[in-house]
Amino acid sequence: MVNLKGRDFLKLLDFTGEEIEYLLDLAADLKAKKKAGIPHRMHEGKNVALIFEKTSTRTRCSFEVGANDLGMGSTYLAEGSQIGKKESIADTARVLSGMYDGIEYRGYEQELVEELAKYASIPVWNGLTNEFHPTQILADFLTIKEQFGYLRGINFVYMGDARYNMGNSLMVGCAKMGINFTACAPKAYFPDCDLVDTCKKLAEENGCELKFIEDPMEAVKDANVIYTDVWVSMGEPMEVWQERINDLMPYQVNQKLMDAAADNVVFMHCLPAYHDHKTKVGKEIGERFNCDALEVTDEVFESERSIVFREAENRMHTIKAVMAATL
């Protein structure tokens, strides 16, 4: 019987496949309750602190709506707080532990969220670091389960910068859940060797394969899911865009790539995505570097094979499940 009460949620490496499955089932149950209008105020009267050192739409809204649905209050802490400026992570952890029941943290290095958890006496949830984005993977896997009915044996292909938070976390999650994972990128963008070694062992235990392929057409053959992320992540300087565009344009998810995959292939993206030039930053990058689309074309993003908005909604149901299970 899985019991996650009191646990932190810092990275998927800390959880067994059974525990991840439990969170996915709980999220599906909470989603069904929400859709049916059945109240689930399981943590009435509790409060959570939400620390964001980087910007967010989905993660912040998911924690706030999830907390509210569970009967809890929440405090959003961004600019204007003392964290990391006048007050250390360790002191912040102990202060917030006296007032709240759980803490979400989005920031830079993974070691910061680990430090927060070390000093906090209440559960700490990772809302994204440079290295990992574990709550996103729960939403991705819930969406894949809804789409295909199962996870084990799915052929999952990640295109683009596979050495950052999304590539790392998806590789770990797939290896834990028996999903065949392919990272498709130039060699320099493959995940860190130590993490790959750890994941290869997990994959072997769980009966799935990990592949690292440079040729996009070869990688997507038989793919059920093609996934990508932005080529330049939050906190990285604008100057790296030119190099990323040069290196990663052959890995753009476009219709030709989708056509080369399995008939039932779906497109996924953690969002936000640069699929057109309708946003301020997207327009600026498009004009400055003279390109029509970046990691995904508008044609694929807007197609019926794209399940990105269900994936985004599932952020809320899965984050709610993490809070419900660990508090």
CA distance 219 to 262: 11
- Binding stretches for ligand CP (CB under 6 A): 56-59, 128, 136, 270-271
CB environment 194-223: b (16+ within 10 A), e (fewer): ebbeebeebbeeeebebebbeebeebbeeb
Residues 246-305 within binding reach of ligand NVA (CB under 6 A) = 270
Cβ 56 to ligand CP, closest distance in Å? Answer: 3
What Cα–Cα distance (Å) separates residue 79 from each residue in 51, 219, 291? 10, 42, 34
User: 137 or 208, CB closer to ligand CP?
Assistant: 137
Q: Is 270 a catalytic residue?
A: yes
Cβ 57 to ligand CP, closest distance in Å? Answer: 4
Contacts of 193 by beta carbon, 8 Å cutoff, 6+ apart: none
Q: Is 7 a catalytic residue?
A: no
CA distance 176 to 24: 13
Q: Which residue sits closest to ligand NVA, CB atoms considered?
A: 233
Catalytic annotation, pick one of 133, 163, 269, 317: 133
Q: Is 106 a catalytic residue?
A: yes
Max Cα distance, the chain (Å)? 55
User: 13 or 271, CB closer to ligand CP?
Assistant: 271
Residue 57 partner contact from ligand CP, ligand NVA, none using kind-dependent CB cut-offs of 5 to 8 Å: ligand CP
For residue 234, how far is the Cα from the chain centroid? Answer: 13
Select from 103, 113, 166, 172 the one that contacts ligand NVA (CB under 6 A): 166
User: 97 or 135, CB closer to ligand NVA?
Assistant: 135
Catalytic annotation, pick one of 7, 58, 60, 106: 106
Cβ 55 to ligand NVA, closest distance in Å? Answer: 9
Residue 81 touching ligand NVA (CB under 6 A): no
Q: How would you classify residue 149: left for phi > 0, otherwise alpha for psi between -120 and 50, otherwise beta?
A: left
CA distance 283 to 60: 25
Query: Is 124 strand, coil or helix?
Result: strand
Catalytic annotation, pick one of 43, 136, 174, 317: 136
Cβ 142 to ligand CP, closest distance in Å? Answer: 14
Query: Is 272 strand, coil or helix?
Result: coil
Residue 77 partner contact from ligand NVA, ligand CP, none using kind-dependent CB cut-offs of 5 to 8 Å: none
Residues 145-164 within binding reach of ligand NVA (CB under 6 A) = 164
User: 139 or 171, CB closer to ligand CP?
Assistant: 139
Residue 165 partner contact from ligand CP, ligand NVA, none using kind-dependent CB cut-offs of 5 to 8 Å: ligand NVA
DSSP string, 155-223: EEEEES-TTSHHHHHHHHHHHHHT-EEEEES-GGGSPPHHHHHHHHHHHHHTT--EEEES-HHHHHTT-
Q: Which of 188, 182, 252, 178 is nearest to 212 (CA)?
A: 182
Residue 230 partner contact from ligand CP, ligand NVA, none using kind-dependent CB cut-offs of 5 to 8 Å: ligand NVA
Residues labelled as active-site residues? 106, 133, 136, 229, 270, 315
| Residues binding ligand NVA (CB under 6 A) | 128, 133, 164-166, 229-230, 233-234, 270
